[in-house]
Amino acid sequence: MSALLIRGGRLFDPASGVDAVGDLLIRGEHIAAVGEVEARGDEEVIDAAGLLVAPGLMDIHVHLREPGQEQKETVATGTRAAAAGGFAAVACEPNTSPPRDTAERVEELLEIARREAVVRVLPKCAITVGQRGEELSDLAALRAAGAAAASDDGFAVADAALMREAMAAAKRAGMPLTVHVDGPEMVERDIGLAAEIDWQVHFSHVSLADEVELIARARQRGLRVSGEATAHHLALCRADAPEGDASFKMNPPLRSARDRGVLRVGLSAGVISVIASDHAPHSAEEKAQPYEEAPPGAIGLETTVGVVWTDLVHGERASPETIVRAMTAGPAEVLAVEAPALRAGARADVTALDPECEWTVEPERFESKARNCPFAGRKLKGRATVTIVGGRVAMREGRIVELGAAA
């Protein structure tokens, strides 16, 4: 049985109340001991002095593009990018070609992931057939096939009756819903449906102050409602975007400085409980089109940690506890899966971060196939240095060091 000893790091798991310098022993796929560790001498040792050792980070809003758009990204390249960015698990959106709206397509993705992924892959499925908003997908069959959540990413389900039917079907199937945010009116509608059906709803890439306030009021009422913010909406506003630069074209678009400020406050208050990348790779040719014709979206798996640590932690806008919780326990709660944790017996998904590492964003050196990054050339402070997935070292010092499937 393989063994890893992470020596002398700041063990940091806010959800479990862990914050102390110590050691972490991993044997096989699980954490064997935390704190004062007695080594046997057969362990590979990772010196974590000066590092923050956290549960493995999770990103629940990622586009891997496979099948059908492999020129932009694949499961292999996207999960390498995830490992490079410190993520041990990613949930991928269903807007592939064709959309992931059948059990067979969920199973196909899981088989590709078993062969090629270097981090854990949790597939989302489409709420409606073809993501067209006309006919409900078979959510029970999709859940049974392994879908982690349902989303019509990029599209809100406009038909209120169909969305009510979707929420009821999701409840019967035990399927989390992560819905595309399309303005305060749709957020208010879906909060009302969540109250009526008594089921959970998670709002992806929240960006407007009014959306944050609606979610806050819903949570105060005890509704099972949660919100997510992307690193780019937390760090940037529309005043930061050079005119006509499609690298800054997003969906939702960058908002006002006031919206960004409310989003940051909502994160620190726990109203926004998840930070995600919304990693959306596109080819250079697509992004080089005139602004109006270029597709929206930016890559983010390899920059999210650095961006939020620089702008929020070092910028004194959010605490390390808030950030780590929003990238570990928060995402796990949305997906109703076991949260990564630093405790004996837990699955050994671990991320080590260097909060003082200064680096410059160079997209041409990324693991992702894509280069559409609004942070290119920016100097950041804070970076993941080790990613461990199920006891395997997937990334160390920026290099993918162990390939093979992540179950």
Strands lying side by side in the sheet with 120-125: 57-62, 87-92, 120-125, 149-150
Residue type, 45: V
Choice among 101, 152, 153, 278 that is catalytic: 278
Alpha-carbon distances, residue 41 vs 76, 287, 348, 387 (angstroms): 34, 52, 19, 22
DSSP letter for each residue of 164-214? HHHHHHHHHHT--BEEEP--HHHHHHHHHHHHHHT--EEEES---HHHHHH
Token readout for 322 is 């808030």
Please tell me the distance from the alpha carbon of residue 356 to that of residue 319, in angstroms, as a whole number: 15
- In the residue annotation, 278 being an active-site residue is answered as yes
**Residue showing tokens 């806008």:** 317
Residue type, 116: E
Alpha-carbon distances, residue 12 vs 136, 273, 284, 324, 389 (angstroms): 42, 18, 39, 8, 17
Output the CA angle 318-314-20, nearest 5 degrees. Answer: 75
Residue 218 has a CB neighbour count (10 Å cut-off) of 24
Enzyme catalytic residues: 278
